[in-house]
């Protein structure tokens, strides 16, 4: 019996610390795998099936959520690649940004301003066919003679009106602002 438990602990250790995120982190950081979510879902499915076999627990949504919690919160510490793919890639881009500038000084293309494309926020008198005004637009044609427009909602999660519900539900302030904007 003791030998069987040791095998399970070893298998779980190898899954968590060798086969899951630590070994795939380099690929996740250096390539935009967040653009192909089905690949990340397939990888998580393999991890989920392996974890189910190791722990002899049917991995429905409840146990899987529990397993992905940090160890200090009662979970197994299995990190979900789908959740960290984009932040890991952005961290990598940020970490090599200066190196890219050292090699290619002209490659600093952070924004429209760096590209010297004039853009204005809340452009007056510009309405789409549905009578809504975009939050911003380029002042030069972007593609096929059309300007590039964007619609962005920025809210303060820590504002007094949002704080109470933001502590209960992640993304509450953004969801509420989006609903207000749609009805506007």
Rounded to a whole number, what is the distance in angstroms from the first to the last CA of the chain? 65
Asked if residue 48 lies in contact with residue 5, where contact means CB atoms within 8 angstroms, the answer is no
pLDDT one-digit tens code per residue, 63-104: 888 888 888 888 888 888 888 888 888 888 888 878 877 887
Are 28 and 97 contained in the same domain?
Answer: yes
29: tokens are 């950081």
Boundaries of domain holding 125 = 109-152
Are 53 and 98 contained in the same domain?
Answer: yes
Task: List the alpha helices (DSSP H) in the chain.
Answer: 2-14, 21-30, 37-55, 61-67, 81-103, 160-166, 172-183
Are 93 and 180 contained in the same domain?
Answer: no
Are 90 and 120 contained in the same domain?
Answer: no
> CB-hemisphere CA count at 13 Å for 59?
20
Q: What is the pTM of this model?
A: 0.50
State how far the Cα of 150 lies from the Cα of 148, in Å rounded to an integer.
7
More confidently predicted of 15 and 122 = 15
- In sequence order, the 6+-apart residues with CB closer than 8 A to the CB of 16 are 76, 77, 78
pLDDT value for 150? 58
114, burial (CB in 10 Å: exposed 0-12, middle 13-18, buried 19+): exposed
pLDDT one-digit tens code per residue, 139-168: 565 666 666 665 666 677 777 777 777 778
175: tokens are 């969801």
Average pLDDT (110-130) is 55
Are 133 and 96 contained in the same domain?
Answer: no
More confidently predicted of 180 and 45 = 45
Per-position b or e across 69-108, b if 16+ CB within 10 A of its CB: eeeeeeebebbbbeebbeebbeebeeeeeeeeeeeeeeee
Mean residue pLDDT of the chain comes to 74
1 has a pLDDT exceeding 50:
no
Angle 95-170-59 (CA atoms, 0-180°, nearest 5)? 85
Are 73 and 141 contained in the same domain?
Answer: no
More confidently predicted of 108 and 69 = 69
Asked if residue 127 lies in contact with residue 149, where contact means CB atoms within 8 angstroms, the answer is no
State residue 136 phi and psi, 5-degree precision: -165, 160
Number of domains in the chain: 3
59 has a pLDDT exceeding 50:
yes
Are 56 and 18 contained in the same domain?
Answer: yes
3-state SS assignment for residue 136: strand
């Amino acid at each position: 019996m003791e030998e069987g438990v040791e095998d399970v602990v070893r298998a779980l250790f190898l899954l968590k610390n060798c086969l899951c995120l630590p070994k795939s982190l380099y690929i996740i950081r250096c390539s935009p795998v967040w653009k192909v979510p089905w690949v990340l879902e397939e990888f998580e499915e393999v991890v989920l099936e392996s974890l189910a076999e190791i722990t002899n627990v049917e991995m429905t949504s409840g146990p899987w959520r529990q397993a992905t919690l940090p160890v200090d919160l009662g979970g197994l510490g299995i990190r979900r690649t789908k959740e960290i793919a984009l932040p890991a890639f952005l961290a990598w881009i940020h970490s090599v940004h200066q190196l890219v500038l050292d090699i290619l000084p002209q490659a600093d293309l952070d924004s429209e301003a760096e590209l010297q494309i004039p853009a204005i926020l809340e452009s007056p008198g510009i309405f789409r066919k549905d009578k809504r005004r975009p939050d911003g637009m380029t002042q030069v044609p972007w593609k096929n003679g059309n300007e590039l427009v964007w619609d962005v909602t920025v809210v303060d999660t820590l504002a007094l009106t949002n704080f109470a519900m933001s502590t209960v539900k992640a993304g509450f302030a953004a969801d509420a602002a989006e609903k207000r904007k749609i009805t506007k």
